[in-house]
Each structure stands twice: as structure tokens, then as C-alpha cells.
Chain A
Amino acid sequence: MNDINDLLIQAIGNPARGDDGLGPRFIEELSKRAMLATHTQWDYQLSIEHAELFSKYKRVLIVDASKSGNGPFQFSTVLAGQNTYISSHILLPQNILALTQLLYHAYPQVYLLAIKGEIFNLSENLSKVAEFNLYETMRFVQTTFNL
């Protein structure tokens, strides 16, 4: 996992909704630490065009806020899937990966990093718990992805 040029860090979240802004903040913190060689992007939600974007990377790390789960964060591998709930314009990571494989014949390794948040009300600030969890997550990512 040393070739960071092959890595996309894709954050998801709304920075105006309190801890839902964990993903965008993650990207901001990454930029402050001068890890600019890593390709990063943040969006409010995943949509169909991410299938094409993901096809251009060997590895994709999706960073999102989570309302549940134990510990500061949960890290998992995403497996392509069709048989999931598809409702509004929002697509799930497993659907995006399925589209990447089907349409672009690309098979990136996709990981999901869900950082635990606590307060999701209208606010541009993270809660104290979220700030702590973000710090713990940054340490994990730096080590795991050798950033």
C-alpha cells in the first residue's frame, strides 16, 4: 500500500450538518498535513458518475460519518453488490463498485471508513466526540495507507 498515486480518498458528507461534516473535515486535515500527493475529493453523496471516477484508481478509500458502531471508526472492505436498497439519487458504495466493474471492467479495491459522529444538527462545527474520533481515524489511516 505504498503507491499513493493509485489511491483516491473520497469523502462524503455535508459540512453544514454538524458531524455529517466528518468526511469533508477529514480531507481538510489531510491537506493540512501536506499529503497532497494523494488524490482527494469530497461530495455530498455518491452518485452514478463516481463509478467512472473509481475506475481510474487501484484503491479507493470512502470516508463517511456514521451514526452507529463501536469505537471511533469502522473500517471495512466494500464488495460489489446489486441486491441492496436503491431509493433516491443516493447510491451506496457497493452499488458504485458494481457499476465500476460492469461498465468499466475495472476492479479497484474499495474500503469504507465510517467515522462515528454524535450530533447531526445544523452546524458547521464538529462535536467534541467527533473531533476525537477524527483524530484517532487520521492516525489509523496514516499508518494503514502509509501516508
Chain B
Amino acid sequence: MKQIVVISGKGGTGKTIITASFAALSNAKVIADCDVDAPDLHLLLKPKVKQTFDFKSGKKAFINEEECINCGECVEVCRFEAIDEIIENDVINRMIIDPISCEGCGVCFHVCPVNAIEMRENLTGKLFISETKYGTLVHAKLNVAEENSGKLVSMVRNYAKHMAEKDKKNLVIIDGPPGISCPIIASITGVDLALIVTEPTLSAMHDLDRVYKVAKHFKVRSIVCINKYDLNLKNTKKIKKYCKENNIDIAGNISFDLIVTEALVNGIPVVEYIDNKVSNEIRDLYNKTINLL
């Protein structure tokens, strides 16, 4: 069983649009949406949810006001500025914990002299196993304002792998998140191939370089696709040069075409929406990617 992840560094270069078309083109796969922060793949694949799992991650501190003696020791030790002393008429009246700033380290819980702080388990998201007309989709939703999306990403990857093994599918196609920190690291570690979607813009090129280095750091092989390559041919040339210098295969170029947005608005993967130049380019990209795998 092989795993491919679609990443980009910069957001909005076309990861999900390409992943959805890959899902439509492949017939032996499980699909995973690892952008648990702002997942969009379900908008194109229209999943029917079969199973839902709670995602619990870490704990958060709560103060029992009846026990609290307002000594302020917790405020002193908290490095995340999550605890505030509420002062009324020049005296400390009570303590409050901001659940958004609390990282759940529990230092306040350990230092509290009267055991007034409780660490409660934190429900931070949900994971779904769904059926789509293209096969099984494993996806998730991190609650807004939460942290630890790396762990939820790992959970999505584990379930996707499990479903592929169970149903004897030989491919997992993963839609990755933007950026270069914990969610992306969790999305790429141990995959067979990373397809980096870039654009001929200085921003996307800058981010391509950073995300390529992250993949390299974690020993993941990368290939590149240049989306909207005809928007700036000079920059496209520069990307090709960069790839040559770094020994990165270019798996395809996709033209700029507003039909891609039209397909998205209609909620259909481009390759199913229309048969034209751009859908053929995506087909070629898919075939080449599978060959390079």
C-alpha cells in the first residue's frame, strides 16, 4: 500500500482541487483530508458519514472558586498568561482562566496549595469515516480555536491506513494542510511521495522552497506540479530551473482557466465537470504521479 500527500506550503494553490480530481481518477484508494483546521475536500466529494469518533486532546485547567484562596501562585507560574486576577476595590476578588490561552500544561494544578484547580479532559474535535462515490474518505474537524491539530492529523492518517488495509486498497491519497509546522509534519512523515502544488508567483515559489526543505528534512521524496503555469511564464521557467537544481521531478503543468472555479462552484471535481485542456492536464498529472510512485 502506498501513500501520496498533496501539499503546497502556501495556501490556496489548488491542493484540494487536485486531490478531488485524483480521487475521481483513481479506483483503488482511500482518501484522507488532513487539513483538519479548514477542511474543504468534503465539499467536492460529498461524503455520507458512516462513523464518528470524538477526538480528545490534552486537558484544560479549571478553578473551583469555592476552594480558591486567591493567593496568586498559579498566575505567577503560568507561562501562557492564561490566568488573570480579577481585582475589585483594590483586593483580589477571584481568579479566572482563559480557556483559549490555556495550553493544559498543568503547572498551576501542581502548585496550587489548596487543590482548587482541576484538569479536565478537553474534547477538541471529531473524526469521520465516510462513504463517497469515489471510495472511503477519512476526514476530521478540529473545533475552532483549538490546538494540537498534529495529533488529529495522525489519527486521520492511522484510520485511513487501517481502512485501506482492511478493504485491500493499494493507495491512500492525502490532502495536506498549508504551512510547515506540526500539522504538515504529521501529514507527510512516512508517506511514499509528496506532490507539491505551486504557482508561478513569488509567494508560492518562496513557500515551495520552504515546504520542500521540510519534506527533505523528514526524508520524504517530493515532486512538483505548477498550477496556473501560464500566469507568469518567466516565473514558471524559474521553478523549472529550481526543480532541476534540486533534482525534483515536475509531474505536470496546469493552465489557468476560470472553468476550474466554475467546477468548484458546482461542487464537482474538474475532471468530471469538463473534458478540455485543463482536465486533460490534470489527468496527465495523475498518470505521471502514479508512475513516479
Bind each other: no
Chain B interface (Cβ < 8 Å from any Cβ of A): none
Chain A interface (Cβ < 8 Å from any Cβ of B): none
